[in-house]
Chains A and B, each alone.
Chain A
Amino acid sequence: MAEKRAGIEVENLVREFRKGPRAVDGIDISVEPGEIYGFLGPNGAGKSTTVLVLTTLLPPTSGTARVAGYDVVKDGPKVRAAIGAALQEAALDPFLTGREHLNLQAALHGLGRKQRKRRGEELLERVGLEEAADRRVRGYSGGMKRRLDLALALVHEPRILFLDEPTTGLDPQSRSALWSEVSRLARDEGVTVFLTTQYLEEADVLADRVGIIDRGKIVAEGTPEKLKAEIGRPSVEATPAEGSGREAVARVLSRFGEEIAAQPGAVAVRLMGGAGDLADVVRALDSEDVRVTNLRLDEPSLDDVFLEKTGRSLEGEGAQEVKEAQV
């Protein structure tokens, strides 16, 4: 029997493909109702396969997964009734209009004629597609298709929403609009959101908790703050000005922490005393007349977490939190 406010419970989930490696290799996930869970990982890490299993589109090889309190294998129809999904590619019919898509989706979900019309209008307005509603989708931009995709996933007011890389290929404005809508859904309507992304910033900004997956295994899980705190102290990076040698900069900075990898020509150290050391670094450089063109304080990012856990940096668009001080 399903609990009214159940989220997502995954235990030792495995998905193997006949001629490939284990795409999902024994993962455990627990997502609370109303939570936004960011599932972060590089291409091919197993994010989309996990979503396909959780949305009942792909059977697991072993393990169990319960979504909205229902088993994805035994209770497929009940799971599907409780969820909405916008999968990796915005799957739309280029020859139908946005309104026709919503009408079809609503009809298949059993909404009456009047309800369909009302819900369609409401969703078109919410995703900002009122003006384009009667245009065929083949003429939509990538951002418009993504917004329609989200609207279609929301037609039947699902309790749990799966978004598989929803902002890939979107311009910053469309991305920001989609983030706002996802946040609003979780905050105002209590929708549980399972969001896969390869964008660090997206996970950092949106997710209450993040799971980092690599090669089918979860390598880290927690709130973005907790994960970053585990990595520890921030770092400072300085780029020597013309006339001030790299060695002089490295000598001064070495008093504040151990040297770490930096951009070509720059010097970076992990600050022993945390962000509070930044003022002392500036004073030390000034007192020794070492001039720099750029001085930057980097807080630990989710990419640092990924690097720490896997020894590799995340592919795609990184989103380090950067506090930059021009000196």
Chain B
Amino acid sequence: MSSSLLVQVTSLARRSTLRTMRQPAVVVSAILFPMMFFAINAYGLDAAASLPGFPADSYLDFAFAFPLIQAALFGAITAGADLARDIESGFFDRLSLTPMRPSALLLGMLAGVVALGLLQGVVFLAVGLLFGVDIKSGVAGMVVIVLLTVLVALGFGGIGAMLALRTGSVEAVESAFPLFFVSIFMSSINLPRDLIEADWFRWVATANPISYLVEGIRSLVITGWDAQALLLGFGFAFGIVALSIAGASAFLQTRVAR
């Protein structure tokens, strides 16, 4: 008896999604915290919109990428920690004793990340529109925003999976959260790169791939259809997805090698 990859992935994705949705604290904090940071930033840094050369009419529009990126990070850490918990508890061994293909485990877990990313993207869009965010690229742009958010969630999810499979420790995965969080702030999340005054900060933000993810999403909100920003945003997102999933697959092979 062997089950198809599709059945395996579907079953594991269902489990991953059920598990997340049955932890209301996880779902609520994955939605609430990014919204809170968004509200605080939009209110506290509102005056930045009057800086000469600021690219948006309102800081609310400019900052809208923030909750989407942060939410993707929350989802990734949760999924990574769940996978590490499976390893610690022996559930991973239980799955390994079935004819399951290792790739199904990874894909199933990432499908859960995508589901949460999709939910977050749709909720943030709805809340953003309610609070007056003006999306210049229109309805089609909204769809692309959700797509890019899901792709970012997938990439971050891959990094979470890499950490979980490499260390097998919930603690190790969760302790990476502050590092990720700082790397979001070390990007162009709060200010356009050309308006960052400190040279070293501007240099770090330019080298930080998260800047291009942020700017891809942001361009759809404040500019409309900016081919270069979208190309860079999707390019970096696909790059992170490819690298993280390749890394996670390699660690998975090592863990199940026998």
Q: Which of A57, A77, A96, A152 contacts B99 (CB 8 A)?
A: A77
**Which chain A residues lie closer than 8 Å to B258 at the CB level?**
56-59, 73, 76
**Which chain B residues lie closer than 8 Å to A59 at the CB level?**
258
**Which chain A residues lie closer than 8 Å to B15 at the CB level?**
93, 96, 100, 104
**Which chain B residues lie closer than 8 Å to A105 at the CB level?**
94, 98
Quick check: is A83 within 8 A (CB to CB) of the other chain? yes
A9-17, A22-30, A106-114, A296-304: which one contacts chain B? A106-114
In the complex with contacts A95-B23, A156-B1, A80-B18 CB distance below 8 A: no
**Interface residues of A, CB < 8 Å — how many?**
32
What is the minimal beta-carbon distance from B49 to any residue of chain A, in angstroms?
Answer: 44
A107 x B97 contact (CB < 8 A): no
In the complex with contacts A55-B97, A80-B97, A80-B99, A109-B90 CB distance below 8 A: no
Report A166-178 CB contacts with B as 1/0, cut-off 8 Å: 0000000000000
**Which chain B residues lie closer than 8 Å to A85 at the CB level?**
97
Within 8 A of B (CB), among A44-90: 55-59, 73, 76-77, 80-81, 83, 85, 87-89
**Which chain A residues lie closer than 8 Å to B23 at the CB level?**
95
A110 x B3 contact (CB < 8 A): yes
C-alpha gap A186/B2 in the complex (Å): 25
What is the minimal beta-carbon distance from B89 to any residue of chain A, in angstroms?
Answer: 5
Q: Which of A57, A58, A95 contacts B19 (CB 8 A)?
A: A95
**Which chain B residues lie closer than 8 Å to A95 at the CB level?**
18-19, 22-23
**Which chain B residues lie closer than 8 Å to A55 at the CB level?**
97
What is the minimal beta-carbon distance from A80 to any residue of chain B, in angstroms?
Answer: 5
In the complex with contacts A57-B258, A81-B99, A110-B91 CB distance below 8 A: no
C-alpha gap A197/B45 in the complex (Å): 64
Interface size class of B (residues with CB under 8 A): 20 to 34
Quick check: is B93 within 8 A (CB to CB) of the other chain? yes
A57 x B91 contact (CB < 8 A): no
**Which chain A residues lie closer than 8 Å to B93 at the CB level?**
57, 87, 91
Closest partner residue, chain B, to A97 (CB atom): B18
B18 x A91 contact (CB < 8 A): no
A91 x B89 contact (CB < 8 A): yes
Quick check: is B95 within 8 A (CB to CB) of the other chain? yes
What is the minimal beta-carbon distance from B26 to any residue of chain A, in angstroms?
Answer: 10
Quick check: is B175 within 8 A (CB to CB) of the other chain? no
C-alpha gap A86/B89 in the complex (Å): 13
Within 8 A of A (CB), among B1-17: 1-3, 7-8, 10-12, 14-15
What is the minimal beta-carbon distance from A12 to any residue of chain B, in angstroms?
Answer: 20
B18 x A96 contact (CB < 8 A): yes
C-alpha gap A88/B15 in the complex (Å): 23
For B12, B15, B19, B94, which residue has the most chain A Cβ atoms within 10 angstroms? Answer: B94
Closest partner residue, chain A, to B3 (CB atom): A110
A109 x B89 contact (CB < 8 A): no
In the complex with contacts A59-B258, A93-B19, A95-B22, A108-B3 CB distance below 8 A: yes
Quick check: is A282 within 8 A (CB to CB) of the other chain? no
Q: Which of A56, A58, A77, A152 contacts B94 (CB 8 A)?
A: A152
Q: Which of A76, A100, A108 contacts B98 (CB 8 A)?
A: A108
C-alpha gap A81/B97 in the complex (Å): 8
C-alpha gap A57/B95 in the complex (Å): 11
Quick check: is A233 within 8 A (CB to CB) of the other chain? no
In the complex with contacts A95-B18, A95-B22, A95-B23, A109-B91 CB distance below 8 A: no
C-alpha gap A244/B149 in the complex (Å): 87
**Which chain B residues lie closer than 8 Å to A156 at the CB level?**
1
Closest partner residue, chain A, to B89 (CB atom): A91
What is the minimal beta-carbon distance from B147 to any residue of chain A, in angstroms?
Answer: 29
C-alpha gap A188/B119 in the complex (Å): 50
Report B184-213 CB contacts with A as 1/0, cut-off 8 Å: 000000000000000000000000000000
What is the minimal beta-carbon distance from A60 to any residue of chain B, in angstroms?
Answer: 10
Quick check: is B100 within 8 A (CB to CB) of the other chain? yes
Q: Which of B8, B91, B97 contacts A93 (CB 8 A)?
A: B91
Within 8 A of A (CB), among B197-256: none
What is the minimal beta-carbon distance from B15 to any residue of chain A, in angstroms?
Answer: 6
Beyond contacts A93-B15, A110-B7, A111-B3: 9 other A-B pairs, Cβ-Cβ < 8 A, are: A56-B258, A58-B258, A91-B91, A93-B19, A100-B15, A105-B94, A107-B3, A107-B10, A110-B99
Q: B residues bordering A, Cβ < 8 Å?
A: 1-3, 7-8, 10-12, 14-15, 18-19, 22-23, 86, 89-91, 93-100, 258
Q: A residues bordering B, Cβ < 8 Å?
A: 55-59, 73, 76-77, 80-81, 83, 85, 87-89, 91-93, 95-96, 100, 103-105, 107-111, 136, 152, 156
Shortest Cβ-Cβ A-B pairs, 5 listed: A91-B90, A110-B3, A110-B1, A108-B98, A107-B11
A-B contact pairs, 17 of them (CB 8 A): A57-B96, A57-B97, A57-B258, A87-B90, A89-B89, A91-B91, A92-B89, A92-B91, A93-B91, A95-B19, A104-B14, A104-B15, A107-B11, A108-B98, A136-B22, A152-B94, A156-B1
